[in-house]
C-alpha cells in the first residue's frame, strides 16, 4: 500500500453498512484495525421482539465494557464524533422486520433504543411483503405500507436488501424519504435474485437512495475466487448508470466465510439455511465462500481505498463511496 492511499484511508470516514460478523465480540474490533469509522452489525434477522431486546441489551453492555473504544451511533454528529475520538461507531441494523412482529408501535421503541436501519424482508415472505427468493412477487402488504410510513416518521432508514422486486419498487415509491439497499450488487454483471436490475437502481437513485456493494462471493461473480477488480466493477456500473452519489460499501462479512470458518462447518451452515428455506441453491452457491482477494477480512479495508485510486476515482469520489453517501441519506432520514 503506497503512502498516498494509506494517508487518504486514514483520513476517510469509512462506513461498512452491513456487518453480520460484527455481531460477534471476537471479531468486532477487526473493523477498527481496518480503519473503519462505523460498522453496522446485524442485531436481528429472524428474532422475535423478546430475543431482539436481549441482543440489544448485549450491545449496551458492550458499550459500557468498551467505553473507550466503542460509540453507539444514533445521529450523524455521532459519526463525526466517533472519527474525532478514534472510536468504532456501532450502527444498529435489522436484516428483517420480524422483530416488530405485527405491532407497529414497537418501531418507536426500537428507534429509542438506537435502531436506525431496518431491512423489510430476508429472502422469504413476511408480514411486510415478499422476499427476493419467495415463490410469489406480490409486493407490500397493507401492514408493510403502514410500517414504512411509521419508519419515515420516526427517522428509521428503509432497507430493501433481500426484498422481492415488486416489494422493492413499491417501498421506494411509497417512502417519503430515501431508501437504501444496504448490501447488494448489479444483476447485469451477475444475474442472481439478490442483485438489482437496472430499473431498481434507477428508481432508488431518483429517490436519493444508496446501494452498498456486497462482498459475498455469490453476488460478486460466478468465480469461486472473485477479485477486488470484480468487486469494483459493480461500483463502476452503478456510477455509470446513476452517478457517484448512489453507491457505498457494505461488505457483508459473515461468520461462514472461508477466512473465518472451515469448509466442513460452512457446509453445515449452508445445509441448515437450505433446510430452513432461508436460502436457495439458485441464489446462494455452496461453500467455500471466498470473499474478494485482498478484502477477505475487515482488517483489509485499506486495500479498497488503494484499488479505487488505481481505478481512477479521485479523492472526493472515494470519500463519497466510502462513507459520505450513506451520511447524506442519514442526514435526510434520521430525526
The alpha carbon of residue 211 and the mean position of all alpha carbons in its chain are separated, in whole angstroms, by 9
The alpha carbon of residue 189 and the mean position of all alpha carbons in its chain are separated, in whole angstroms, by 19
Q: For residues 73, 78, 83 and 89, what is the CA-based torsion angle, rounded to 10 degrees?
A: -10
Dihedral-angle region of residue 287 (phi above 0 means left; psi in -120 to 50 means alpha; beta otherwise):
beta
Q: In the prediction, which pLDDT does 202 show?
A: 98
Please give, one letter per residue, the 3-state secondary structure of 163-210: ECHHHHHHHHHHCCCCCEECCCCECCCCCCCCCECHHHHHHHHHCCCE
> What cell was used for 102?
405485527
* Cis-peptide, bond into residue 189, ω within 30° of zero: no
Q: In the prediction, which pLDDT does 1 show?
A: 64
User: Quick one: fold of 3-333?
Assistant: TIM Barrel (3.20.20)
- Bridge partner list, 56: none
Residues in the chain: 335
pTM for the structure as a whole: 0.97
Q: In the prediction, which pLDDT does 217 show?
A: 98
Per-residue pLDDT of the chain (335 residues; tens, 9 = 90+): 689 999 999 999 999 999 999 999 999 999 999 999 999 999 999 999 999 999 999 999 999 999 999 999 999 999 999 999 999 999 999 999 999 999 999 999 999 999 999 999 999 999 999 999 999 999 999 999 999 999 999 999 999 999 999 999 999 999 999 999 999 999 999 999 999 999 999 999 999 999 999 999 999 999 999 999 999 999 999 999 999 999 999 999 999 999 999 999 999 999 999 999 999 999 999 999 999 999 999 999 999 999 999 999 999 999 999 999 999 999 999 97
Q: In the prediction, which pLDDT does 300 show?
A: 98
Give the start-to-end residue ranges of the domains of the chain: 3-333
Amino acid at each position: 500500500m503506497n503512502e498516498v492511499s494509506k494517508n487518504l484511508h486514514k483520513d476517510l470516514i469509512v462506513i461498512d453498512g452491513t456487518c453480520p460478523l460484527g455481531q460477534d465480540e471476537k471479531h468486532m474490533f477487526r473493523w477498527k484495525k481496518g480503519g473503519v469509522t462505523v460498522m453496522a452489525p446485524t442485531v436481528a434477522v429472524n428474532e422475535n421482539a423478546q430475543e431482539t431486546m436481549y441482543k440489544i441489551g448485549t450491545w449496551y453492555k458492550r458499550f459500557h465494557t468498551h467505553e473507550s473504544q466503542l460509540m453507539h451511533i444514533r445521529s450523524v454528529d455521532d459519526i463525526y464524533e466517533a472519527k474525532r475520538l478514534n472510536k468504532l461507531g456501532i450502527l444498529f441494523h435489522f436484516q428483517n422486520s420480524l422483530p416488530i412482529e405485527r405491532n407497529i408501535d414497537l418501531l418507536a421503541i426500537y428507534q429509542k433504543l438506537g435502531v436506525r436501519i431496518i431491512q423489510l424482508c430476508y429472502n422469504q415472505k413476511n408480514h411486510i411483503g415478499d422476499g427476493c427468493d419467495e415463490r410469489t412477487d406480490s409486493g407490500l402488504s397493507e401492514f408493510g405500507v403502514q410500517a414504512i410510513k411509521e419508519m419515515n416518521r420516526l427517522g428509521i432508514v428503509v432497507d430493501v436488501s433481500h426484498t422481492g422486486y415488486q416489494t422493492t419498487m413499491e417501498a421506494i415509491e411509497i417512502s417519503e424519504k430515501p431508501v437504501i439497499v444496504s448490501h447488494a450488487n448489479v444483476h447485469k454483471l451477475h444475474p442472481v435474485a439478490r442483485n438489482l436490475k437496472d430499473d431498481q437502481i434507477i428508481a432508488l437513485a431518483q429517490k436519493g437512495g444508496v446501494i452498498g456493494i456486497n462482498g459475498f462471493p455469490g453476488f460478486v461473480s460466478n468465480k469461486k475466487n472473485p477479485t477486488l477488480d470484480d468487486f469494483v466493477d459493480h461500483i463502476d456500473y452503478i456510477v455509470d448508470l446513476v452517478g457517484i452519489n448512489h453507491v457505498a460499501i457494505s461488505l457483508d462479512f459473515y461468520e461462514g466465510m472461508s477466512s473465518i470458518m472451515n469448509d466442513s462447518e460452512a457446509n453445515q451452515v449452508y445445509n441448515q439455511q437450505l433446510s430452513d428455506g432461508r436460502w436457495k441453491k439458485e441464489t446462494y452457491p455452496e461453500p467455500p465462500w471466498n470473499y474478494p482477494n485482498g478484502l477477505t477480512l475487515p482488517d483489509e479495508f485499506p486495500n479498497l481505498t488503494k484499488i479505487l485510486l488505481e481505478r481512477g476515482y479521485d479523492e472526493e469520489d472515494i470519500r463519497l463511496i466510502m462513507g459520505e453517501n450513506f451520511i447524506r441519506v442519514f442526514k435526510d432520514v434520521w430525526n
